[in-house]
C-alpha cells in the first residue's frame, strides 16, 4: 500500500491535499516558467495556525520525503512538497520545469521556500553526478527562477541547499563497484597538490587512470566543473539578496581529494562576496533539508537550543570518518550552528544532552564499555535531561548498545535517535528532529488545538519508530542476515531485480516480529500534552507497517509505521 493510500485509509490529512489536475504541456518555455497549468485549490493545512514550509527535495527517497514530512509535523509545521511524480527516481530525473511551475503556483501559500539546487538544476542528486542531465547553461537557467520568486515574494525567505560532488560515481549494480573504487582513489590522489605528489604517488595515479575508461573520466571531470560553477553562482545569488541562506553539503568524500580544492575556492568566494554569515559548508547531503527546516523554525520562534556533548570513547571527538573530511567535533559544531544552536559545558542548563557513540566495531576502543554507556544514559534520564543518541560510528546501529537499551527500558525515553549512514547524516537527522519537536513543546503548542497536538505526537512517535526499525532492526540485523544467507548465490544488492519480492516478504516477516518487541517497550510509556496537566498521550496500537524498496536496492528500504494513539486523563505516567 503506498503513502497516499495510507492517508486515505486513515482519514488523516498528512501534509496537504492538493487536488492538482495535470492538463497540458506547452512546447515552449516562457522565462522558464508556466509551461503547464493546474486547477489550483487552496491547500488544506494539517495545522491550521502552524507555519507552512515549501520544500523542493533532493529526490524522492524516503529520507527526502517521509523523513522531512514527519520531522516537520513533529513540530506542528505544515510541509508542502511537489507531487511525487514530478520528482523522478533512480532511473528518471526529476521534472525541473514542472516543479518550477508548481512552485510558483503554490508560492503564495508558503511562509518560506527551502529548495534543493540539485533538483532544480539537474533533476535530483543522482543526476547532479551525470553529464546526461542538464548542461551548465540549462542548470543556471533553472536556478534563475529563484530570482523571480524573490521579486514576487520579497519578504519570504529562500533557503537553498546544494551538494559538492562526491569523489566517485553512482553504483547501479555490482558491476559498477570496481569503477566506483578506482574513481574514488583517483579523485583522492588528484586532490593532492602537485608539489606534494611523490614519484610513487604519481605512478599510482597513472596506474589508476589506466583502469578508468577515458571517456568516463572526461565526463566525470566535466561534470565536476559544471557543478562547481553552479555552486559559485549560488554564492552570488546570496550576495544579491535572492537567497537568504545557502547550505552546501559535501557528499561522500575523504580527508584528501579533489573536493578540497573546490571547497577552498568556494570559501574564497564566500569571503569575497562577504556572505560568511549566510553560507555554510558541512559534510553530508541527505540531512540538509531538515537542518534548514530546523534553522527556520528556531529563528522564527526566537529559540537558540543548547547542547551538552558526551562522547562514548576518549578520543571520539578527534575521529575523521571514512566518508568525511573533518574531525567529528568540528562536524557536530557545524551542524549545531546551522540550526542556530550552541554547545554548552553546563550540564544542568543544557536544553539537550547529545550522547555520541563513537565506538567503531571494526576498531573497538579500549576505553569503551557498553554497560557504562547505558549507565550514563540512565543517569541522565533519571535527572530528567532530554537525551539525543547519535550512534555515528558504524553507519548503522551498535547492536549490543541497542539491545541493552531495550532491555533496560531506555529506548522509549530517548528524545531523538539516529544511526543512519554517515555521521553527518545521523547528526543532522537527530539534531533537527529534537530541535523541531522541542519548539513545539516549549513555544508553539499553544497555537494548536488538542487534536492537532495529538497529531504532532503521532508523527513524532512514528518517526522514532521509523528510526529504530530502520537503523537497528533492518540495517543491523536483517540486512546482515540477508547477506549471510545469500553468500555464494547470485545476488546484486544494488539491483534486486527479480529478487525484490522474495526479499521484501522476508523483510516483512522479520519486521512484524521486531515491531512487536518495540511496541512492548513503549506500552507503559506516556507523554503529557504540553501546558496541560490533565491529559497524556500513549500508543495503543501499531495498525500498519508499510515497507518497500523504492529504488530497488537493499540499502534503501522504506519503512512507514502507522501508530494509533489514545488520550489519557488524570493518570499521567512519566
List C-alpha distances in Å: 565 to 35, 75, 359, 560.
44, 17, 36, 16
Alpha-carbon span 341 to 438, nearest angstrom = 13
The number of CA neighbours under 13 Å toward the Cβ of 11 is: 0
CATH superfamily, region 3-169+225-299: Response regulator (3.40.50.2300)
Handedness of CA 236, 239, 240, 246 (dihedral sign): positive
Q: What is the pLDDT of residue 570?
A: 61
Q: What is the pLDDT of residue 40?
A: 52
DSSP class of residue 43?
A: P
Contact 66, 560 (CB under 8 A): yes
List C-alpha distances in Å: 14 to 5, 43, 210, 331.
11, 12, 52, 33
Average confidence (pLDDT) per 10 residues, the chain, 574 residues: 37 33 30 42 79 97 96 97 94 94 96 98 92 85 97 98 93 87 92 77 90 91 95 98 98 92 96 97 97 98 98 93 94 98 97 95 83 96 97 94 95 96 97 98 93 96 97 94 76 87 93 93 90 88 93 93 90 45
Q: What is the pLDDT of residue 137?
A: 92
Q: What is the pLDDT of residue 531?
A: 82
Strand pairing category for 78-80 and 352-357: unpaired
Contact 294, 62 (CB under 8 A): no
Domain ranges of the chain: 3-169+225-299, 303-569
Q: What is the pLDDT of residue 7?
A: 36
Alpha-carbon span 405 to 378, nearest angstrom = 9
Contact 9, 40 (CB under 8 A): no
Give the SS3 label for residue 538: strand
Spatial CB neighbours of 244, under 8 Å, sequence gap ≥ 6: 157, 158, 159, 238, 278
Amino acid at each position: 500500500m503506498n503513502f497516499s493510500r495510507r492517508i486515505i485509509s486513515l482519514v488523516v490529512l498528512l501534509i496537504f491535499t492538493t487536488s492538482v489536475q495535470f492538463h497540458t504541456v506547452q512546447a515552449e518555455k516562457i522565462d522558464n516558467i508556466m509551461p503547464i497549468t493546474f486547477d489550483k485549490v487552496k491547500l488544506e493545512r494539517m495545522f491550521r495556525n502552524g507555519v507552512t514550509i515549501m520544500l523542493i527535495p533532493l529526490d524522492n527517497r524516503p529520507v527526502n520525503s517521509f523523513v522531512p514530512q514527519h520531522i516537520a509535523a513533529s513540530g506542528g509545521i505544515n510541509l508542502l512538497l511537489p507531487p511525487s511524480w514530478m520528482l523522478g527516481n533512480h532511473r528518471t530525473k526529476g521534472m525541473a520545469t514542472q516543479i518550477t511551475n508548481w512552485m510558483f503556483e503554490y508560492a503564495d501559500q508558503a511562509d518560506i521556500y527551502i529548495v534543493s539546487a540539485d533538483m532544480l538544476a539537474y533533476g535530483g542528486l543522482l543526476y547532479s553526478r551525470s553529464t546526461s542531465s542538464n548542461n551548465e547553461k540549462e542548470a543556471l537557467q533553472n536556478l534563475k527562477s529563484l530570482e523571480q520568486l524573490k521579486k514576487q515574494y520579497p519578504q519570504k525567505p529562500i533557503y537553498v541547499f546544494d551538494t559538492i560532488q562526491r569523489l566517485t560515481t553512482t553504483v547501479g549494480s555490482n558491476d559498477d563497484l570496481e569503477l566506483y573504487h578506482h574513481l574514488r582513489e583517483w579523485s583522492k590522489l588528484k586532490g593532492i597538490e602537485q608539489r606534494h605528489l611523490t614519484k610513487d604517488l604519481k605512478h599510482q595515479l597513472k596506474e589508476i587512470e589506466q583502469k578508468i575508461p577515458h571517456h568516463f573520466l572526461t565526463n566525470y571531470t566535466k561534470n565536476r566543473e559544471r557543478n562547481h560553477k553552479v555552486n559559485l553562482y549560488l554564492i552570488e545569488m546570496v550576495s544579491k539578496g535572492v537567497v537568504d541562506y545557502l547550505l552546501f553539503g559535501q557528499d561522500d568524500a575523504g580527508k584528501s581529494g579533489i573536493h578540497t580544492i573546490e571547497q577552498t575556492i568556494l570559501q574564497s568566494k564566500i569571503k569575497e562576496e562577504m556572505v560568511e554569515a549566510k553560507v555554510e559548508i558541512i559534510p553530508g547531503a541527505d540531512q540538509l533539508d531538515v537542518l534548514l527546516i530546523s534553522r527556520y523554525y528556531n529563528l522564527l520562534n526566537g529559540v537558540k537550543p543548547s547542547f551538552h556533548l558526551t562522547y562514548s570513547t576518549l578520543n571520539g571527538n578527534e575521529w575523521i570518518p571514512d566518508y568525511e573530511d573533518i574531525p567529528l567535533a568540528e562536524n557536530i559544531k557545524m551542524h549545531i550552528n546551522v540550526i542556530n544552536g550552541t554547545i554548552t559545558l553546563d550540564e544542568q542548563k543544557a536544553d539537550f544532552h547529545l550522547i555520541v557513540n563513537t565506538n567503531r566495531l571494526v576498531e573497538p576502543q579500549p576505553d569503551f564499555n557498553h554497560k557504562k554507556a547505558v549507565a550514563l544514559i540512565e543517569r541522565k534520564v533519571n535527572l530528567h535531561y532530554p537525551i539525543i543518541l547519535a550512534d555515528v560510528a558504524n553507519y548503522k546501529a551498535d547492536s549490543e548498545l541497542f539491545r541493552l537499551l531495550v532491555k533496560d527500558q531506555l529506548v522509549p525515553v530517548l528524545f531523538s535517535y539516529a544511526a543512519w549512514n554517515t555521521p553527518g547524516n545521523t547528526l543532522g537527522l537527530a539534531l533537527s528532529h529534537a530541535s523541531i519537536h522541542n519548539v513545539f513543546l516549549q513555544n508553539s503548542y499553544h497555537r494548536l488545538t488538542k487534536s492537532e497536538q495529538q497529531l504532532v505526537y503521532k508523527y513524532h512517535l512514528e518517526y522514532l519508530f521509523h528510526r529504530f526499525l530502520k537503523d537497528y532492526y533492518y540495517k543491523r540485523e536483517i540486512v546482515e542476515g540477508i547477506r549471510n544467507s545469500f553468500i555464494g548465490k547470485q545476488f546484486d544488492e544494488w539491483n534486486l531485480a527479480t529478487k525484490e519480492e522474495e526479499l521484501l516478504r522476508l523483510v516483512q516477516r522479520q519486521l512484524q516480529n521486531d515491531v512487536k518487541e518495540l511496541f512492548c517497550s513503549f506500552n507503559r510509556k506516556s507523554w503529557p500534552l504540553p501546558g496541560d496537566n490533565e491529559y497524556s498521550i500513549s500508543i495503543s496500537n501499531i495498525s500498519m507497517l508499510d515497507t518497500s524498496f523504492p529504488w530497488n536496492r537493499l540499502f534503501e528500504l522504506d519503512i512507514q509505521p502507522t501508530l494509533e494513539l489514545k488520550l489519557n486523563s488524570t493518570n499521567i505516567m512519566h
